[in-house]
Chain A
Amino acid sequence: MSNIPEDLKYAATHEWVRVEEDGTVTVGITDHAQELLGDIVFIELPEEGRVVSAREEMSVVESVKAASDIYAPISGEIIAINEDLVDAPETVNSSPYDDGWFCKILPSDESELEELLSAEAYTDMCE
């Protein structure tokens, strides 16, 4: 069974969102997503400073098996990216919720957070 932490919010497209104390959000892909993708070999990260809308393609993950689009779970500005993933994309397989984070977004509309799934709802969706 994949790991779905209680304290995060989830998009139906398998991204997770952690709301930080400063109001920014950290984004990555779920344990379930990395399991489905298998060994990740390349990650194309969004550019820092880019403004994204919720559900817009922001990143591409290539695994041995397939290429997958990663979508912005909420609208806002990309204020940081995890450049370590460029040379060590496998970090997403080994640590999807910690060292394998993709980017930080400064939300432009915090109400969108309410539209994301709870851990419980995401668990139901994955079953």
Chain B
Amino acid sequence: MGQKTPLYQQHVSAGARIVDFGGWDMPIQYQSVIEEHHAVRQHAGVFDVSHMTIIDISGPDAKAYLQYLLANDVDRLAEDGKALYSAMLNEAGGVVDDLIVYRMAWGYRLVVNCATREKDLQWMALHAREFTVSLSERPELAILAVHGPESIDKVCSLLSADTAEKVKALGNFRGLEADGWFIARTGYTGERGLEILLPGEAAGTLWNQLLETGVKPIGLGARDTLRLEAGMNLYGHDMDESISPLAANMEQTISWEPQTRNFIGRSAVELHKQQQAAGELPVLVGLVMEARGVLREGMKIVCEVDGAAAEGIITSGTFSPTLKHSIALARLPTKAQNCQVDLRGKLTPVRIVKPNFVRFGKQVFA
């Protein structure tokens, strides 16, 4: 028996198949992964992501601490409610975790992965010693992610007129606090939507109301196919402590300027940048296979670099319900060409594309 979110009974009532996910009993699917996937792309779906870890950071050094802890620079958060995606690196420039940080009126709020919770908390506490900051985990909060073209309207129909108006006006990667809830335009699907952080005891009512307005419950199975179509990394699969963010398509999440900002892993990733310029660092690419079959994590890619045989590996793969063929993220040598996947012993051609397959319901790669 694992830990249960405040919505566990709702999942069981909705017919979920429950699986262990990082020590939590979570819904993998309710009816069909593909139908749930289409519900988010075409209408609206709600995910219980309360298993994720929320850590609030306050105190006079909160900003300086995060500027040291994170590869992205919280100085870019120009106003309260704004969100930033960042890696937390180790000294060797490997990814300890990826996370979202929100600027709040009283400090900052981080949402990190559930499977990495303990090591993240230890890592963050270790590096907090030099700073006057307070770190507090918020296990009493639940998180509902509501995504899809109809999601914002559906959520707003359940809010007070005043709050609804403000939520509708939110830009992407912006959030607001209202009556103890934090509502932000962030997510993991490539669709418009909201993440709602609220007291656990209020989550069941919101969940039930969302379902009554026609929002479909979505399990972790469709969460994975949606994020992969959106080309978003999954920690522990597409990157981990042994992988540079530059080899995980996360270059945009590193703030190199100002050069005076010293963040953990900075000297290592500066070296990685030189290696990248010299073509020595692998790259995370998108792969498309239009033939029948499904690309899976761990499958070998054989390719050519400057005419010489080389190889790479699939870090995440699935069937894309939107595109109706398989897609994957793969780590390959730079300048890889003529890629083929070892598909159960049969070499099958795959095409390299930018690692972003579907946005707002439509194919985005050429």
State A49–B344 Cα separation when bound (angstroms): 23
How many B residues face the partner with a CB closer than 8 A? 14
Do A39 and B292 have beta carbons less than 8 Å apart?
no
Do A62 and B221 have beta carbons less than 8 Å apart?
no
State A60–B318 Cα separation when bound (angstroms): 16
Tell me which of A38, A90, A93 contacts B221 (CB under 8 A). A38
Closest residue of chain A to B34 (Cβ to Cβ) is A39
Within 8 A of A (CB), among B12-68: 29, 32-34
Q: How large is the interface on A (under 10, 10 to 19, 20 to 34, 35 or more residues)?
A: 10 to 19
Tell me which of B29, B294, B321, B344 contacts A38 (CB under 8 A). B29
Q: A42-B292, A67-B344 are in contact. Are A62 and B29 (CB under 8 A)?
A: no
Do B344 and A60 have beta carbons less than 8 Å apart?
yes
Q: Smallest Cβ distance from A69 to chain B, in angstroms?
A: 9
Closest residue of chain B to A43 (Cβ to Cβ) is B292
Tell me which of A44, A64, A67, A93 contacts B225 (CB under 8 A). A64
Q: Does B174 contact A (CB under 8 A)?
A: no
State A119–B319 Cα separation when bound (angstroms): 33
Q: Does B296 contact A (CB under 8 A)?
A: yes
Q: Does B293 contact A (CB under 8 A)?
A: yes
The proximity string for B residues 339-353 relative to A, scoring 1 for CB distances below 8 Å and 0 otherwise, is: 000001000000000
Q: A39-B34, A60-B344, A67-B344 are in contact. Are A44 and B221 (CB under 8 A)?
A: no
Do A62 and B293 have beta carbons less than 8 Å apart?
yes
The proximity string for B residues 211-225 relative to A, scoring 1 for CB distances below 8 Å and 0 otherwise, is: 000000000010001
Do B32 and A62 have beta carbons less than 8 Å apart?
no
Contacts of A42 in B (CB 8 A): 292-294, 319
Contacts of B32 in A (CB 8 A): 38-39, 93
Contacts of A41 in B (CB 8 A): 34, 294, 319
Contacts of A50 in B (CB 8 A): none
Do B292 and A67 have beta carbons less than 8 Å apart?
no
Q: Smallest Cβ distance from B292 to chain A, in angstroms?
A: 5
Q: Does A65 contact B (CB under 8 A)?
A: yes
The proximity string for A residues 1-26 relative to B, scoring 1 for CB distances below 8 Å and 0 otherwise, is: 00000000000000000000000000
Q: Smallest Cβ distance from A112 to chain B, in angstroms?
A: 27
Contacts of A67 in B (CB 8 A): 294, 296, 344
- Between A and B, how many residue pairs show CB distances below 8 Å? 35
Tell me which of A44, A64, A90 contacts B318 (CB under 8 A). A64
Q: Smallest Cβ distance from B221 to chain A, in angstroms?
A: 7
Do A44 and B294 have beta carbons less than 8 Å apart?
no
Contacts of B321 in A (CB 8 A): 64
Closest residue of chain B to A60 (Cβ to Cβ) is B344
State A62–B225 Cα separation when bound (angstroms): 15
Q: Smallest Cβ distance from A93 to chain B, in angstroms?
A: 7
Do B344 and A64 have beta carbons less than 8 Å apart?
no
State A93–B292 Cα separation when bound (angstroms): 19
Tell me which of B292, B293, B319 contacts A64 (CB under 8 A). B319
Do A62 and B319 have beta carbons less than 8 Å apart?
yes
Tell me which of B33, B34, B294 contacts A62 (CB under 8 A). B294
Closest residue of chain B to A66 (Cβ to Cβ) is B296
Contacts of A62 in B (CB 8 A): 293-294, 319
State A66–B293 Cα separation when bound (angstroms): 11
State A42–B32 Cα separation when bound (angstroms): 15
Within 8 A of A (CB), among B317-340: 318-319, 321
Closest residue of chain A to B36 (Cβ to Cβ) is A39
State A127–B221 Cα separation when bound (angstroms): 24
B residues sitting closer than 8 Å to A (CB atoms) are 29, 32-34, 221, 225, 292-294, 296, 318-319, 321, 344
Q: A39-B33, A42-B294 are in contact. List 4 more A-B contacts (CB 8 A).
A: A42-B319, A64-B221, A64-B294, A66-B296
Query: Can you list 7 residue pairs at the A/B interface with Cβ under 8 Å?
Result: A39-B32, A42-B292, A44-B292, A64-B318, A67-B296, A90-B34, A93-B32
